[in-house]
């Protein structure tokens, strides 16, 4: 079974509008971390936001917020006030196990976001 | 702020040749990870090192080997290269003492095998 599922291969959003990128995950480990990364066409992988499995509050980082619904095993990324520079591939990733365990990240297949002027 | 450094950024090799990719982690980071991203695919974990010891192993071919040195830099050695090894190779580093243990990625080495 897929550990990370991103069901939206491509998304379009109008500049200045908000957009939600979906991510569901599958793990039996009670301790895990969820990450979102942005990969522009230039190829680098840029860390955006983190949510720990025991975090009570949804994570926020500037225009990025993570809608964490633990019971549904979803960790959707919300980008507010989209900008042209937000056009990129977005990956959801999970680390199973507690912090300090040096575990690998497992990535979803990504969502290609295009911001329209 | 200092980032992860990878060299070379681009590499072209022939089939059956060898390649060595280098990674210099963020200062004071103790863990290094290697990922392979094929065209149009998500990154796949290869191997990781914590304090110079192999920590975790993923889908790394036997033709590949890696190590972390005393200065924490890491090298990925790839032998008997195949066409299918053409990919973007990322190194990431993290600090296991930080709460988030976020993996910060380098710019990647783009390997093309002809």
B12 has a pLDDT exceeding 70: yes
Residues 6+ apart with CB under 8 A from B60: B34, B46, B47, B66
How many whole angstroms separate alpha carbon A19 and alpha carbon A82? 7
> Is the Cβ pair B101, A91 closer than 8 Å?
no
Which strand (E) or helix (H) includes residue A115? strand A111-116
Minimal-distance CA residue of chain B relative to A43: B107
Q: What is the pLDDT of residues B41-88, one digit of tens each?
A: 999 999 999 989 999 899 899 999 999 999 999 999 999 999 999 999
Q: Name the residue among B48, B98, B105 with its Cβ closest to that of A104.
A: B48
Cβ–Cβ below 8 Å for B101 and A45 = no
Which of B105, B24, B5 lies closest to A93, judged by CA? B105
């Amino acid at each position: 079974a897929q550990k990370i599922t991103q069901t939206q291969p491509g998304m379009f959003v109008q500049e200045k509008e908000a957009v939600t990128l979906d991510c569901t995950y599958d793990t039996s480990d009670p301790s895990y971390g969820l990450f979102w990364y942005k990969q522009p066409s230039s190829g680098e992988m840029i860390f955006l936001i983190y949510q720990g499995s025991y975090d009570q509050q949804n994570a926020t980082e500037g225009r990025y917020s993570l809608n964490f619904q633990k019971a549904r095993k979803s960790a959707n990324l919300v980008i507010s006030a989209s900008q042209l520079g937000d056009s990129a591939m977005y990956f959801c990733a999970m680390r199973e196990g507690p912090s300090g365990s040096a575990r690998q990240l497992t990535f979803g297949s990504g969502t290609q976001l295009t911001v329209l002027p | 702020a200092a980032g992860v450094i990878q060299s070379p950024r681009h590499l072209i090799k022939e089939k059956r040749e060898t390649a060595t990719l280098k990674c210099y982690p963020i200062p004071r980071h103790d863990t290094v990870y290697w990922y392979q991203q094929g065209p149009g695919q998500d990154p796949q974990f290869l191997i990781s090192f914590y304090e110079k010891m192999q920590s975790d192993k993923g889908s790394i071919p036997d033709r590949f080997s890696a190590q972390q040195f005393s200065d924490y830099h890491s090298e990925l050695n790839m032998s008997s290269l195949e066409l299918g090894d053409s990919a973007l190779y990322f190194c990431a580093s993290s600090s296991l003492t930080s709460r988030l243990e976020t993996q910060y990625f380098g710019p990647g080495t783009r390997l093309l095998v002809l």
